[in-house]
Structure 1
Amino acid sequence: MPRFLAVYTMKPEAVLAFRELPKAEQDAIDAAGIAEWAAWEERNAAFILDRGGMVGKTTRVTKDGIAKAVNPFCGYLVVEAENADAAARMFADHPHFTVFPGDGVDIMPFVT
């Protein structure tokens, strides 16, 4: 079955807005979101090949050197599905953007 990279995206301003919320509100969102995320992973466990993880600030390496960079990527995981549409449907109700301030999930097939 084909494999897909699912990249969680989040706009920098959404992260800042979340961090400006009162601590109790952040904690409530985290508690609800973590529980829903775990339930989502349990429902889709048969299709998750690599749970990946959340990622931090970006450093970009180019022929011109090494520099700090900004992109919307905040995490990833690897899933298996019949096709890209099936992989995308898997994330339709994901807590990354239904509970947390995530922007979306980009689905990309691995190619040989």
Structure 2
Amino acid sequence: MAVPVAKEKKGGVASPAPLARHARKTEASAKQEAPMSAETHYLAVFTSDKTGPKWRAWRAMSEADQAETARLGVAAVADWEAAHRDSIVYQGGPLGPTKRIGDDGAVTDMVNLLTVFMVVRADSHEAAVRLFVNHPHMSIFVCDGVEVMPVLG
């Protein structure tokens, strides 16, 4: 499945292309999907400080440099996904603007570090975390980490 190269404009600044993809299941996960259990399934959430140095560097790039970085990054993400297809349970996708409701019922807009998510399977929590070493979202794009936690239900 081809990964679309798309850019969103936010405040006149192009966002990295993989962050604009829609959530989708991989072909392998559609064939192998099983009920989630705490022993094997992990939620991975990529984080990115929208005010941090990686975003400042992205915004400082010319549109041509952003496009070339996005081209290289999209290809690298597709390669990573192909190499890890047996571990990907749910492809996930980018996370949009956040709203929060408090216990008082008040709804507010907010910004957090959560950027992209996916669900993977692994033999252990440590193995799940290690799947993301040198992931293109961190090595090419603007994510600065991946939080990985077991799915408990």
TM-score range, shorter chain: over 0.9
Q: Percent identity?
A: 34
1:50-97, CA deviations, whole angstroms, 9 ceiling, x for partnerless residues? 000011211111212110112100110000001111011110010011
Query: Gaps spanning 5+ residues in structure 2: where?
Result: 1-38
Structure 1 length-normalised TM: 0.93
Larger strand fraction of residues: 1
TM-score between the two structures when normalised by the length of structure 2: 0.69
1:67 is aligned, of 108, 111, 123, to 108
The runs of 4+ residues in structure 1 deviating greater than 4 Å are none
Q: What is the count of residue pairs matched by the alignment?
A: 112
**Residue 133 of structure 2 is aligned to residue 92 of structure 1:** yes
Which is helix-richer, 1 or 2?
1
Q: Which runs of 5+ in 1 are unaligned?
A: none
Matched, 1:3 2:41: yes
| SS of alignment partner, residue 134 of structure 2 | coil
Name which structure has the greater RCO, CA cutoff 8 Å, separation 6+.
1
CA displacement at 1:16 relative to structure 2: 4.4
Q: What is the alpha-carbon distance in structure 1 between the residues aligned to residue 87 and residue 100 of structure 2?
A: 31
